[in-house]
Every structure is written in C-alpha cells, then in structure tokens.
C-alpha cells in the first residue's frame, strides 16, 4: 500500500505534500512517516492518507466564461483612465 | 521522434515540469528510472563505508551523529526508490538489480575507509560533491523527484556540517591527527575529481537534453572546486594535484581525472565492490522473513 504524507512545518501553516511511504498497513505507514518526515524536527504534524483516498481534479473547464470569478473579469485600468479624464485629475498623476 | 515527443521535449526544455500521471515518452521514463535508481542505489551503498565506523567512532557523540547520518542516507534511498516505483520499477526489483550487479552506484562508495580521517573527508567532501549534483536536481523536469530533493538537500547540509566538524577537530589536534586528515584527503582526491563524471558537453548529455539534470558534469566539478578548494587550503591542507589552480578568468585548472579508473570502478570492479554487494546480499537474505511477514506482496 502507498500512503501519501502531508506535513505541517509550523503551527498555523498549511499542510503540504511531503512524499509517500510504502507500508503494509496504517500502523507501519505512521511509523515510516514519522521516521521519514519528522525525525529532525522539520514537522509539527503529519497527515498520512492512503493514496486511493486522494482524488485529483485537474481539469477546470469554464464553459460559461464566468470571468466574474476571476481577476481578469475586472479590467479597471481603462475605466480608471477614462474616469480620471472626466474628472480632470489625470494630469496630476505621474503614471 | 513523434510530434507528441517533440512537443514534450520542447516543454521540458522550456522549463516545464512533469507529474507521475502525465503522459511521457518511453525514452524519458527509461532515462528517469536509470538515473534516479542509480541515485537510490548510491544512497543505500553509501552508508556501508560509514557503517564500518559507527562502533569505532572516537566518542559517543560521534557514534550517534554517524548513526543519524546513516539513517538519513537510508531514508534518502527509501524516498528515491518510492519515486522509481511510481515510475514503474518496484523497489524490490531495484534491490535485485543492485545486488546482482546489474545496476550501478556512485564511484566513491566502492572504496575502503582506512581511518577516521576518511570518515571526515567523506562526510565533508563526498557529501559536498553530492549536494552540488543534488541542488542542480531541484530544477529537474520530473517534479516528484525535484520535490523530494529539497528535503534531501536539507539533510545533506547536516552531513557536511558533521564532516567539517570532524575535520576541524582533527586539524586542531595533534600532528598525527592532522596527518591522518591529509592522508585521507590524498586518498579521496582522485575519486572526488571523478565523481561528477566525464566532461561531456551538456548538450550531448541525454540526462541534460531531457532536463533531468540542469547542469553539465564539467560545470558541477568547477562548482565543487570553487566552493571547497579554498576551504581545504585555509586549513593548511594540500591537494595532491600539482596542476590545480584557479585562472584569472575564474576557471579552475586541474590534471585530467582518471576516467579509466572511474569506468572500471562503477562497472563493478572497485576495491570494495564485491565485499559490499556481498554484505547487501547477506542482509537481504537474512531479512527475507521480515518482508514475508510485513509485506505479503513482496515475498
Ligand atoms: Fe544522502
Ligand atoms: Fe549525505
């Protein structure tokens, strides 16, 4: 069995993938993970997860073009320029 | 090469990284397995010369530090064999090929350790040479390998610390101790200069073409000399190569390393190759029952 190991470097930080261990069961997996990823005080906590339990999603299709979810849905630069021109304040600014 | 392979090559050459589940050309996969497996083998075989010194280390603190280093290196081989397994070659097969002599390991681990001075030189300079190669692997096109390299490099820096401490202690000691260090350095200089391999241009090196490695062998050697020769000299130690000097353009000059020796040694004819592989064979036989009990699928 392959177990994926995630480690937290300091309290409050996100867990990040550290690597994997091969073990016959959970108990061994936990001990291997401890030895591999916690021995030198480099982690304050570990998550040990069977590989099958991890579901990867790597396709993000945006069929409806919902750009209001993203930064590129808000093109402020051009609008700001226009608004400044209208207000007559664009000359005061250096950029 | 197919159009898809061309596209892949262009992708990795422009800095793209590949995950285990991504499509990859068979040749790329084969090169990865060969390269990474040899690294795993080297970590595992590299502990044998040091293991011989655990009981003979001069103080309890040194025995513990050396044991910790050995544990680190075995841990590195575990991590690395996991990466190889995910590429399609299980650890058990790697171990079979290692003990049968089919696969290789680094030249420096085929040599004897005569004195405690050798242990210091190994931890300081062999690990330093290794960390230069490993740091260049942080940019490896195969992302899972690049990621574990971060942890490995971090632990390697401990080993260099430990090695330097051993060397400095001896250099501050008696004349006999200082001589021990100089002798060990003389013994290891040849193998150290061979360590990074033949100076084939990076562009002709398949491992560089696929961006498994990010630098050529010659570059790595220059980096090693630049980083460590001044550190050697400042302790009053000498390097046995009369041609060794740094040119005004910053490039190091040195006598041509003995490439025939390198080839002879890594193909399984080093002074300690047979003995160390024999020890691996014995312990693998002796621990077979453990694997049978613990890993049913491995038996
Ligand atoms: Fe290592
Ligand atoms: Fe090391």
Q: Between vectors from CA B113 to CA B108 and to CA B115, what angle results, nearest 5°?
A: 140
Measured between CA atoms, how close is A19 to chain B, in angstroms? 7
Please indicate, yes or no, if residue A89 is contained in any of the structural domains: no
Q: Which domain holds residue A13?
A: 2-53
Please indicate, yes or no, if residue A42 is contained in any of the structural domains: yes
Residues A76 and A70: their CA atoms lie apart, in Å, by 13
- Locate B69 and state its tokens: 């280093």
> B291 — contact with chain A (CB < 8 Å)?
no
- Nearest residue to B194 (alpha-carbon basis) of B267, B262, B251: B262
- Closest alpha carbon within chain A to B90: A22
- The answer to whether the CB atoms of A22 and B91 lie below 8 A apart is yes
- The topology (CATH level 3) of B3-276 is Ferritin (1.20.1260)
Interface pTM (ipTM) of the complex? 0.80
Q: What is the pLDDT of residue B76?
A: 96
- Locate B51 and state its tokens: 């293991």
Domain count, chain A: 1
- The answer to whether the CB atoms of B151 and A56 lie below 8 A apart is no
Please indicate, yes or no, if residue A76 is contained in any of the structural domains: no
Sorted by where each begins, the domain ranges of chain B are 3-276
Please indicate, yes or no, if residue A12 is contained in any of the structural domains: yes
- Nearest residue to B142 (alpha-carbon basis) of B262, B22, B222, B283: B22
CATH of the domain at A15: 3.10.20.520
Q: What is the pLDDT of residue B299?
A: 43
Residues B278 and B281: their CA atoms lie apart, in Å, by 5
Q: What is the pLDDT of residue A92?
A: 64
Give distance in angstroms: CA of B56 to centre of ligand 1: 22
The list of chain A residues with pLDDT below 50 reads none
> B158 — contact with chain A (CB < 8 Å)?
yes
- The answer to whether the CB atoms of A56 and B21 lie below 8 A apart is yes
CB nearest to B78's CB, from A24, A36, A40: A36
Q: What is the pLDDT of residue B296?
A: 62
Residue B126 is given by DSSP the state: I
Q: What is the pLDDT of residue A91?
A: 72
- The CA-based dihedral angle spanning residues B186, B38, B25, B8, taken in that order and rounded to the nearest 10 degrees: -40
Q: Along the 299 residues of chain B, how does pLDDT read in single tens digits?
A: 799 999 999 999 999 999 999 999 999 999 999 999 999 999 999 999 999 999 999 999 999 999 999 999 999 999 999 999 999 999 999 999 999 999 999 999 999 999 999 999 999 999 999 999 999 999 999 999 999 999 999 999 989 999 999 999 999 999 999 999 999 999 999 999 999 999 999 899 999 999 999 999 999 999 999 999 999 999 999 999 999 999 999 999 999 999 999 999 999 999 999 999 999 999 999 999 988 888 765 44
Measured between CA atoms, how close is B6 to chain A, in angstroms? 23
Q: Between vectors from CA B79 to CA B78 and to CA B85, what angle results, nearest 5°?
A: 85
């Amino acid at each position: 069995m392959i177990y994926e190991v995630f480690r937290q470097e300091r309290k409050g930080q996100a867990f990040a993938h550290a690597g994997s261990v091969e073990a016959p069961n959970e108990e061994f997996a936990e001990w291997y993970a401890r030895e591999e990823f916690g021995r030198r005080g480099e982690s304050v906590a570990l998550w040990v997860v069977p590989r099958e339990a991890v579901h990867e999603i790597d396709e993000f299709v945006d069929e409806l073009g919902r750009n209001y979810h993203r930064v590129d849905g808000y093109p402020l630069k051009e609008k700001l320029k226009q608004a400044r021109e209208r207000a007559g304040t664009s000359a005061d600014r250096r950029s | 090469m197919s159009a898809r392979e061309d596209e892949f090559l262009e992708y990795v050459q422009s800095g793209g990284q590949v995950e285990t589940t991504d499509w990859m050309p068979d040749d790329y996969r084969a090169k990865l397995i060969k390269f990474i497996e040899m690294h795993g083998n080297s970590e595992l075989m590299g502990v044998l010369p040091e293991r011989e010194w655990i009981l003979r280390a001069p103080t309890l603190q040194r025995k513990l530090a050396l044991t910790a280093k050995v544990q680190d290196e075995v841990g590195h081989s575990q991590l690395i064999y996991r990466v190889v397994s995910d590429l399609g070659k299980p650890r058990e097969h790697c171990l079979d090929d290692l003990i049968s002599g089919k696969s290789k390991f680094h030249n420096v681990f085929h040599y004897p350790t005569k004195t405690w001075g050798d242990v210091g030189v190994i931890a300081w300079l062999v690990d330093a040479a290794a960390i230069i190669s490993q740091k260049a692997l942080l940019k490896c096109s195969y992302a899972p390998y690049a990621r574990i390299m971060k942890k490995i490099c971090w632990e390697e820096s401990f080993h260099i610390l430990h090695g330097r401490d051993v060397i400095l202690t001896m250099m501050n000691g008696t004349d006999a101790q200082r001589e021990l260090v100089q002798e060990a350095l003389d013994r290891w200089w040849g193998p150290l200069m061979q360590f990074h391999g033949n100076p084939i241009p990076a562009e002709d090196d398949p491992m560089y073409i696929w961006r498994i490695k990010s630098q050529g062998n010659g570059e790595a050697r220059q980096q090693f000399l630049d980083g460590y020769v001044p550190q050697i000299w400042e302790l009053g130690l000498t390097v046995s190569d009369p041609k060794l000097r740094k040119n005004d353009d910053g490039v190091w000059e040195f006598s041509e390393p003995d490439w025939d020796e390198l080839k002879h040694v890594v193909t399984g004819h080093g002074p300690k190759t047979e003995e160390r592989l024999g020890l691996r064979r014995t312990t693998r036989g002796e621990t077979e029952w453990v694997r049978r009990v613990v890993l049913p699928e491995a038996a």
